[in-house]
A and B are shown apart, each in its own frame.
Chain A
């Protein structure tokens, strides 16, 4: 870590470009990033801390992770280079694909493609939802999580605005889980 700053930044940029081209999503990139970053630019301990942290803060997981690793390796400029590396591949690819797809939007096969994908996308969402729920209960298998889940289910059932329900759930979390840090 005693190399000149510039080469650290280049390394970061290259590392995140690579990780974000090779991994399908934010959570999936953790394994690959681990191999790339631990031992070379940061210690295992800091990496675990970064992963834990990106789980408890709002926003895109890939970006949060990139910023933590970037910060550990190269301060604020490190944050910006890592961010750039994480942003460019996925968005550029998506831009190309959306531009191409737009030309076919009126064609019949797109309708079939969407009709076939819909049930699979619904299944994907169910799987992610279950993983998310399990991850939130693994820390503490308790009635508070269940309570929030039931209350929000009732709210969504009566078609309350989703942002309000989420905001309320988070606020409830502050009160319900708030005493945890006092022990």
Chain B
């Protein structure tokens, strides 16, 4: 029960402090890895959520929730992820309809964005470091993936799947 409550609060917090699923990865990492799930599970969650179709935020919630507390855990994490944007949007569209352009919320999010980017860089480094393949293989996979994704010519999900298969063949 305590774990379900913890899940709920974490996902509430993460979804209040990030602007999209991919952007929430940094904060999510610092909140769940080590106390609720392992490094490896987190990598699977991020990898799978970018491979499977649909919202990354909800998939991260589902994976982590399920890993921690089975199906109830999945639904608790899901609910906590859905609540903040729903309440805010309903508030904005219904009540604050006129105040939109001046809303302080938008300035808050503008301040949030650079900090989220920096946090994500730290998280990327931690995941890379603890990924278990620190030799030249890890660097090779990382750099090739980076170039492939940054060039925007190869879909991210293809890169992730290929990297996983390379891992199964060469790193198991």
Give residues in A with beta carbon < 8 Å to B: 20-27, 53, 55-64, 67-68, 71, 76, 79, 83, 86-87, 89-91, 93-95, 97-99, 101-102, 108-109, 111-130, 132-133, 135-136, 139, 145-146, 148-149, 152-153, 156, 161-163, 165-174, 176-178, 180-181
Partner of A91, one of B78, B106, B145, B157: B78
Chain B contacts for A24, CB-based, 8 A: 50-54, 155-157
Chain B contacts for A128, CB-based, 8 A: 22-23, 25, 120
User: What's the Cα separation between A112 and B39 when bound, in Å?
Assistant: 14
Chief secondary structure at chain B's binding surface: helix
A-B contact pairs, 30 of them (CB 8 A): A20-B53, A20-B55, A26-B56, A56-B19, A56-B103, A60-B82, A62-B57, A63-B82, A91-B62, A95-B62, A113-B164, A114-B43, A114-B131, A117-B47, A118-B128, A119-B145, A122-B125, A124-B50, A124-B160, A129-B117, A132-B113, A132-B117, A149-B117, A152-B115, A152-B118, A162-B31, A166-B115, A168-B115, A169-B112, A173-B110
User: What's the Cα separation between A95 and B13 when bound, in Å?
Assistant: 22
**Smallest CB–CB gap between B27 and chain A, Å?**
5
The listed residue with most B CB atoms (<10 A of its CB), out of A97, A132, A161, A174, is: A132
Closest to A174 in B: B107
| A123 and B54 form a contact (CB under 8 A) | no
Q: A53-B100, A87-B58, A177-B111 are in contact. List 11 more A-B contacts (CB 8 A).
A: A62-B57, A67-B85, A67-B93, A95-B71, A124-B159, A126-B121, A127-B150, A162-B119, A163-B17, A166-B17, A166-B18
- Is B36 an interface position by the 8 A CB rule? no
| A120 and B142 form a contact (CB under 8 A) | yes
Count residues of B near A (Cβ-Cβ below 8 Å). 108
| A122 and B53 form a contact (CB under 8 A) | no
